Amino acid sequence: MRMRRTWAVARKEFLHILRDARSLIMALALPLLMLLLFGYALTLDIDKIPTIVYDADRTPESRELIARFQGSRYFQIVGAADSYGAVEAAINGNQCLLGIVLLKDYARHSLTSGEARVQLLLDGSDSNTASIALGYARALLQSYDLELRAGAQNRRGGGAITTSLAPQLRIWYNPDLKSRNYIVPGLIAVILMIIAALLTSLTIAREWEMGTMEQLISTPLRPAEIVLGKMAAFFALGVVDMVIAIVVGVSIFQVPLRGSFWFLAFTSCMFLIGALCWGILISATVRSQLLAYQIGVLTSFLPAFLLSGFVFAIENMPAAIRVVTYIFPARYFVTILKGVFLRGVGVRILWGEAALLLAYAAAVFLAATRRLKQKVA
C-alpha cells in the first residue's frame, strides 16, 4: 500500500465534496441544527406541571395546601374549577395534566382525625410524565401532612413529632438534574453516526452509477487504498462536525467537560473511523445510492438513537433487546461521552469501551477492504 495512491483518492474525494456546495453546507450545518433543535426541544425535565384545583372546602386550611402547590416549581396552577365536571373537561381538553380535588370537610378532618383526603386526578395518556407528576404530588402531600401532625401534637402538648430517619441527599455528576446535560453528550454520537455512515454509504455506489468505478478498477489502486482514500476526506469533515458539536455543547448549553479532552478526541476518532468504514462497507455491498442510503439510515441513525442509551435507558429494555445493543458501537461511545463529560473519568475506567471501539473500527475496515476486493475481482 502506497500513501501516494491513497492521497490521490483522498484528493479526488476532497474536490468532489468542495464542488458539491449544497452537500458540504448540509454536512456542516446539520450538526449545529440537530444540537440546537434537540438541545432546546428535547427535554426530560418535568416541571411546571399544568394543574387545576377544585376546592370544595374553601377554608384557610385548604387554601394553605393550594398555596403549597403554587409555591412548588414542579406545579403551575392554571385555573380553579367549581365542579368535578370542570376538572374532567380541563383534562380532556389538554388544559392540565393534574387535577387536585379538596373534598368538603377537608379542614375539619385535618384538624380532628388527621384523615383528610385529597383526590389527585391525572392524565395517564403519557404514563411516564403522569407517574413522575404523581410522585411529586405525593412527596409534597406527605411533607405537608408531617407538618400538620407536628403542629397538632404541639397544640396537644405532646411535643414535636420526630423521625429516626433523616436522609441527606447528594446528587453526583448532574446536581441540578438537567436533562440537557444528559442529552447533549449522547447527541454527539448520533450526529457522528449520521454524518459518517450516511455520507460514505453513497460514495462507492455513486461511482458505480456514474460509471467511474471501472476507471478506478483499471488503476493499480488496491482495495485498502481506495477505502483509506475515500475515508480520509469524510474523516476530516467528521472531525469538523465533532469539534462543532463539542464547542456548542460546552459553550451554548453549558454542559460540563470534566474529563480529558484528548481521551474524548481519541475515542471520537475511533468511533468516527468505524462509522465511516461501515458506510463504505454498505456502499461496496450495494450499487444503488437509494438502497445504500436506506440501509445506512436503518443501521446507523435508528440504533444510535434508540439502542445506545442516548435517551432510553438500556437497563429498562427487555432482555432480548439489551443483548442486541451490544452489537452497536454507539452504545459504548455514549457511555464514554457521558463518562468524560459528566463524571470526569478517563481511560482507567473506560478502557473496555475504548478497546471495543478500536476493535470495531479495525474489524469493519477489514470487512470493507475484503468486500471491495471481491467487487473489484
36-74 confidence digits (pLDDT tens) = 887 777 776 677 889 999 888 888 878 888 888 888 888
Does residue 335 share a domain with residue 280?
A: yes
pLDDT score for 164: 47
Contact in structure between 291 and 208 (CB atoms under 8 Å): no
Contact in structure between 52 and 87 (CB atoms under 8 Å): yes
Phi, psi for 55 (deg, rounded to 5): -100, 100
297 located within any domain: yes
Does residue 39 share a domain with residue 54?
A: no
CATH of the domain at 91: 3.40.1710.10
Does residue 57 share a domain with residue 24?
A: no
Does residue 222 share a domain with residue 115?
A: no
pLDDT score for 90: 87
Instruction: Output the CA torsion sign for 103, 104, 107, 113.
Output: negative
Does residue 54 share a domain with residue 39?
A: no
pLDDT score for 266: 93
In whole angstroms, what is the distance from residue 17 CA to residue 139 CA? 57
Q: Which of 369, 119, 51, 364 is nearest to 223 (CA)?
A: 369
pLDDT score for 119: 85
- Chosen domain end from 102, 122, 155: 155
| Residues lower than pLDDT 70 in the chain | 1, 23, 44-45, 110-116, 148-169, 211-218, 374-377
172 located within any domain: no
Please give the residue range of the domain that contains residue 96. 49-155
Q: In angstroms, what CA-CA distances link 292 with 40, 206, 236, 300?
A: 32, 10, 22, 12
pTM over 0.95: no
242 located within any domain: yes
Helix (H, G, I), strand (E, B) or coil at 72: coil
56 located within any domain: yes
170 located within any domain: no
Domains in the chain: how many in total?
2
Place of cell 450526529: 191
Does residue 219 share a domain with residue 141?
A: no
Does residue 217 share a domain with residue 360?
A: yes
Does residue 328 share a domain with residue 194?
A: yes
Contact in structure between 67 and 60 (CB atoms under 8 Å): no
**CB atoms closer than 10 angstroms to residue 302:** 12
Does residue 67 share a domain with residue 29?
A: no
Give me the residues paired with residue 49 across strands.
Answer: 75
In whole angstroms, what is the distance from residue 214 CA to residue 228 CA? 18
User: Do the strands 118-122 and 75-81 form a parallel or antiparallel pair, or are they unpaired?
Assistant: unpaired
- Chosen domain end from 104, 123, 155: 155
Does residue 134 share a domain with residue 39?
A: no
Q: Give residue 163's identity as a one-letter amino acid code.
A: T
